[in-house]
Structure 1
Amino acid sequence: MSRLTACFDRLRAENRAAFITFVTASDPDFDTSLEIVAGMPDAGADIIELGMPFTDPSADGPAIDRAAQRALAAGGSMVKTLEIVRRFRAGNDSTPIVLMGYFNPVYAYGIERFCADAANAGADGLIIVDLPPEEDEELRIPANKAGIDVIRLATPTSDDERLPTILSGASGFVYYVAVAGVTGGKSATADDIGAAVERIKSHTDLPVAVGFGIRTPEQAKAVAEVADAAVVGSAIVSLIEGGLDDDNKPGKGMSKDVLAFTRKLADGVRSAKR
């Protein structure tokens, strides 16, 4: 059983949603990034999405775009991203890690090599936001053979005709992008999210995670009441940015502050009534 399946099975038995965090690997530097990622489980994260830094993150808003640029400026790379996963896994064998990003860095690294190295490092899933389901076989098949789930994205415009294509071959969970636009944008209403999750679930047994626009514990709680997972990224990344000095170096206590905020978000998710 994969870590993702085991995680969602356990939380289903506990009658609660998962809390999924997102940070960009090597933002603001390798050591600080590893410290934050390693501290996420104790701060309440059930699953961690780790962004693979890329020069042109077209689906992301300004906060995550800047995080990617900081990571690259600090020497972030695919090799270092996988090294963060490897070091995290040395101390934590249960919390799932999902690598999230764009196809270009994966392709440049080499698809077969990437899938093998990601699996050996301890990654559990992939979200490649610019790779449509009709064109992802060249990555999905070797990833699945390596034991890595390929997670698909659904959006408010994914109608009942489109959803079967999105879901065919998907595994791990479905990531529902709650709003049209880039990360960190406006928030959707709980009613809208609930209706969308119900519609997606009529097509699949996979858990449905909801992200984009969740910034507060209250919003995370509202999402956790209607979905299988709530995903928070831009709000955490923005707190990292806010704790940097003019040279993009972390100030004293920045990691602690980020993890304290993560705990508040996790408490919001865990307080949701199912």
Structure 2
Amino acid sequence: MNRIERAFSQGKAFIPFITAGDPSLEVTQQLVLQMAEAGADLIELGIPFSDPIAEGPIIQDADARALSGGVTTDQIFDMVARIRKSCDTAIAFMTYINPVYTYGTERFLKRCSEIEVDALIIPDLPFEESEELKPYCNEYGVKLISMIAPTSKERIAMIVKEAEGFLYCVSSMGVTGVRNEINNDAEEMVRLVKEIKDIPCAIGFGISTPLQAAEMAKFSDGVIVGSAIVKIVEQYGNECTPYVKEYVRKMKEAVVS
């Protein structure tokens, strides 16, 4: 059983997201270790990018802070290598296609493999263009995670057939961010997916409270939360770790209850 399979094998998975390097790589490293301790099943690490088109203001600002602090992709790779010395929780990189191309696609995937990054999520990579990355992902044992949204409609079947690891189900249209209400399109998406393939479905975009997480977990295999956590990081800066840990603990309790 690989780490991603394990993440979904013990009931509902809780998947937190943070931006690497915000407020610093040292704090990011501690956050990953403490979130894993608090019950996170898979951790998404955002590689900061100057034009994160899928992100709302909260994560855009985090990317800007990390980049202005001088964070590089190589430094993030080195940090994950340090994390792997004591943490075996599944890790996925969330990034955009430009940083991967700039780094060199094969070189990027090879490095992911060396530091045991389990998956790659690229919101601006259309499914139809995923073949540009797929051979390298396959060669180096990194899962390329597919995303579907309420607008995917007839494309869902095509995407699901090729999906691996887990499916990232975007709960609502627009960019990432905290939302007061989440529509019920996600439930219909998960139902469609399960008719085609038995693959874990994790729901993200907009979830921020334990109540929302519990509602989404009723019909999905996992819940992804980013902006709400990044907001805590922004609020408490270098002192954010205990606050994030407590938040993750509460959200994990909510999804398994």
Shorter-chain TM-score range: over 0.9
Q: Distance in 2 between matches of 1:7 and 1:262?
A: 15
Question: Contact (CA 8 Å) 2:55, 2:176: kept in 1 or not?
Answer: yes
> CA deviation digits over 1:18-57, x for unaligned, max 9?
0000001111111011111111111110100100110010
User: 2:178·2:228 contact (CA, 8 Å) conserved in 1?
Assistant: no
Q: Give TM-score, length-normalised by structure 2.
A: 0.96
Which of residues 259, 269, 272 in structure 1 aligns to 2:245? 259
Selected match of 1:230 from 223, 238, 256:
223
Distance 1:80 1:261 in 2: 27
For 2:163, give the aligned amino acid.
A
- 1:264 & 1:74 partners in 2: Cα distance? 31
- Could you tell me which residue of structure 2 aligns to residue 83 of structure 1? 78
Structure 1 residue 80: Cα displacement: 1.5
1:165 to 158, 162, 168: 158
Do the aligned partners of 1:26 and 1:80 also contact (CA within 8 Å) in 2? no
CA deviation vs aligned residue, 1:121-155 (integer Å, no higher than 9, x gap): 11000101101111111211111211110001100
SS at match of 2:158: helix
Match of 1:184 in 2: 177
Equivalent residue, structure 2, for 1:4: 4
Q: 2:13 aligns with which of 18, 30, 34?
A: 18
Letter aligned with residue 6 of structure 1:
R
Match of 1:43 in 2: 38
Residues 249-273 of structure 1: per-residue CA shift (max 9 Å, x gap): x2xx4211111111111111121xx
> Separation in 1 of the partners of 2:35 and 2:212?
19
CA distance in 1, matches of 2:196, 2:177: 28
Alpha-carbon RMSD: 1.3
- Equivalent residue for 2:113, pick from 106, 111, 119: 119
Determine whether 1:70 maps to 2:65. Answer: yes
Question: Is the CA contact (8 Å cut-off) linking 2:13 and 2:221 kept in structure 1?
Answer: yes
In structure 2, distance between residues paired with 1:158 and 1:206: 17
Q: Which residue of 1 aligns with 2:206?
A: 213
The SS at the match of 2:14 is: strand
Paired residue for 1:147? 141
TM-score, structure 1 as length reference: 0.90
CA distance in 1, matches of 2:27, 2:228: 17
List runs of 5+ in structure 1 lacking aligned partners.
245-249
Length, aligned pairs only? 256
Deviation, structure 1 residue 193:
2.5
Return the alpha-carbon distance in structure 1 between the equivalents of residues 162 and 62 of structure 2: 31
Q: What do residues 177-216 of structure 1 show as CA deviations (whole Å, max 9, x unaligned)?
A: 0000000153423x43322211121122211000011001
SS in 2 for 1:90: coil
Structure-1 separation of matches of 2:172 and 2:101: 28
Query: Could you tell me how far 1:158 is from its partner in structure 2?
Result: 1.3
Cα deviation digits, residues 212-244 of structure 1 (max 9, x gap):
110011111111111000000000000100113
Sort the Cα spacing of 1:210 and 1:74 in 2 relative to 1 into closer, same or farther, 3 A. Answer: same
Which 5+ residue runs of structure 2 have no aligned equivalent? none
Note if 1:175 corresponds to 2:168: yes
C-alpha distance in 2 between matches for 1:66 and 1:86: 26
Q: Does 1:268 align with 2:254?
A: yes
Alpha-carbon distance in structure 1 between the residues aligned to 2:127 and 2:188? 23
